Amino acid sequence: MRCMLIVNADDYGLEGRVNQAVVRCFHEGACTSATIMANMPGFEEACSLAIEHKFHKHLGMHLVLNEGIPLTADIRQEKIFCTEEGEFCLSRESPIFSLSTRQKHALAAEIRGQIRRCRERGIPISHVDSHHHVHTEWGIAAVLIPIVREEGIPFIRIARNLVKNREIVKRVYKYLYNANLGWAKLRAVRYFGSVDEYIRFLDAKGDANGTTEIMIHPHYKESDLYVTSSMGLGEFSGLMGPHLEKETAVSFRDLISRETE
């Protein structure tokens, strides 16, 4: 199995400095795709920059259910999702295995609203992930998966699996979640995790043996660009440079093309 690597920049559209950091990562070859937040203050600027710098076709949607203001009205009435002031507050402290019929309808409307806003601004949406991985909650996924299929979006991010959880229950849950995406034909990669997890995985295994997605969160600290909370661009390039050769680095859009070849 050929080894391919996707580096996805999360949180695009959060605010201006994050947007500038993501643009630079594309120019520097530090990322191959990104996911945009349709309800956040930097969204409009992020769309304009992506089109101007010609990477808009390599953008997915970063579904947001736990920060900022919803785009639709009904979900603001659901306490599991929003405060009395109508701001997102979804918590993952307890597993979300199921939702009421009313909650499902409200969530579905919000997901469609975020998809619609992206597409209205010229973002085709190559894949979907989410802020703080809320889409991996079973009750959220049960609503998200049919909508993604209806909307013709090819892929959903899998649950982190580069490093095995010590807790057997979490390992089984992630396995079943990822298998479910496979059955729905929405799984793009074999592995997913952070930069640190990827390096540890390679140290242990020597080879990822399949397509892997790693996430980064580009941002500026003063004038320095960081790709994670503690890793600067220079360190990242040193670690990941050998793995981001042209024949290895791909985006989710590239995987769509390969499926249709």
What's the pLDDT tens digit per position in 83-124?
Answer: 999 999 999 999 999 999 999 999 999 999 999 999 999 999
Mean pLDDT across the chain, nearest whole number? 94
What pLDDT, on the 0 to 100 scale, is given for residue 2?
Answer: 66
Confidence check: pLDDT of 245 > 90 = no
Residue 4 amino acid letter: M
Cα-based angle 16, 127, 156 (whole degrees, multiple of 5): 120
E strand residue ranges, 88-230: 127-130, 155-156, 191-194, 211-216, 219-221, 224-226
DSSP structural state of residue 160: P
Neighbours of 169 (CB within 10 A): 8
Per the CB < 8 A criterion, the answer to whether 123 and 56 are in contact is: yes
Total domains in the chain come to 1
Per the CB < 8 A criterion, the answer to whether 148 and 72 are in contact is: no
What pLDDT, on the 0 to 100 scale, is given for residue 162?
Answer: 93
Residue 48 amino acid letter: S
CATH number of the domain within which 121 lies: 3.20.20.370
Q: What is the pTM of this model?
A: 0.95
Confidence check: pLDDT of 185 > 90 = yes
Please report the sign of the dihedral spanned by the C-alpha atoms of residue 158, residue 162, residue 167, residue 168. positive
What pLDDT, on the 0 to 100 scale, is given for residue 261?
Answer: 36
How far apart, in whole angstroms, are the C-alpha atoms of residue 175 and residue 172? 5
Instruction: Give the domain range for residue 19.
Output: 4-260
Q: Which pLDDT band holds residue 246 (cuts at 50, 70, 90)?
A: confident
What pLDDT, on the 0 to 100 scale, is given for residue 203?
Answer: 85
Neighbours of 10 (CB within 10 A): 24
Cα-based angle 78, 217, 67 (whole degrees, multiple of 5): 15
What's the longest Cα–Cα distance across the chain? 51
